[in-house]
Amino acid sequence: MARDPKSLWLLPALMQTMLVLAGLAWLHLAPSSPGNILLIPLNGAARQHLAGLAVDSGAKLLGQGRWGGSIVVRAEGDFRFGYLLGAAVLPMAAPGWLCGGDSERKNRG
């Protein structure tokens, strides 16, 4: 049974589109130093020691994140991303719309 040649392009095109969208999302949410970073613990042990792990990696604590157990930190200079990944913590960029920026904090009063 032969396939219609017009339908053969659909799956590869969809896969490439998904890869491009995932890449754009990663570029937008990839952490950078210096900058604010959202730290998301990936297991219970990381959740318990998250603040200590953040300070040990070279960050300054700013506050709690929107997700349970997450925190927002300020990374400057020699921030160690690999240290956090090895401790089951996912570092992400912390734009204001994701982590409650200054304008949102003012609106909450």
pLDDT in tens, 68-87: 889 999 887 777 878 888 88
**Rounded-to-10 torsion of CA 69, 70, 73, 78:** 100
| Domain-located, residue 18 | no
State the residue range of the domain holding 100: 29-108
Q: What are phi and psi of 104, to 5 degrees?
A: -70, -40
Residue 4 lies inside a defined structural domain of this protein: no
Instruction: Indicate whether 40 belongs to any domain.
Output: yes
How large is the average pLDDT for residues 97-108? 49
Name which of 29-38, 60-69, 85-94 the model is least confident about: 29-38
Q: Note the pTM of the prediction, 2 decimals.
A: 0.64
Residue with tokens 């603040």: 51
Distance CA(15)–CA(19), nearest Å, equals 6
DSSP 11: H
